[in-house]
Amino acid sequence: LAGNRNGDVMSQLEYRISRLEGVLLLNKIITESGGKIFATNGKSADFDATVEKCKEAGGSIATPRNPGENDAILYFVKYFNTYAYLGIKQSLIPGKFQLLNGAQLGYTNWYSNEPSGRGEE
């Protein structure tokens, strides 16, 4: 990056990041909600591999905390015509779910008669 002043460097970085985000948006591998970026590589994997890939990328597996974030995840489900793993797990009480760290869910948007654990929640 050329430039001697911090402002010049910051402007150039912001410009390059903006261009990169534009390319990723065009390729349907990122979307944004509430200042958070949701991303996918579009590949199938099991739950544990998905959690690990998210950590390797410096993020975490998606856990919708509001309708906008739910829609961001649903965007990938519809685009790739598949299900998505979420950062939740079944608690010790059957039919009850919690965050991976054991905290209570603050937002849910289940279909009727869900969650069933069969990918149709």
**8 domain residue, yes or no:** no
**90 domain residue, yes or no:** yes
CA neighbor of 85 nearest in space, from 36, 35, 121: 121
- Domain housing 65: 31-99
Give me 58's structure tokens.
Answer: 């410096």
pLDDT (0 to 100) of residue 82: 87
**36 domain residue, yes or no:** yes
Place of tokens 């990169």: 20
Q: Mean pLDDT for each 10-residue chunk of the chain (121 residues)? A: 69 88 80 90 90 91 95 93 90 86 91 73 64
pLDDT (0 to 100) of residue 119: 60
Cα–Cα distance for residue pair 70/2, rounded to 1 Å: 40
**41 domain residue, yes or no:** yes
**73 domain residue, yes or no:** yes
| 64 burial via Cβ count (<10 Å: 0-12, 13-18, 19+) | buried
Supply the CATH number for residue 90's domain: 3.10.100.10
**77 domain residue, yes or no:** yes
The tally of domains found in the chain comes to 1
H-helix segments, 2-118: 6-26, 47-56, 67-80
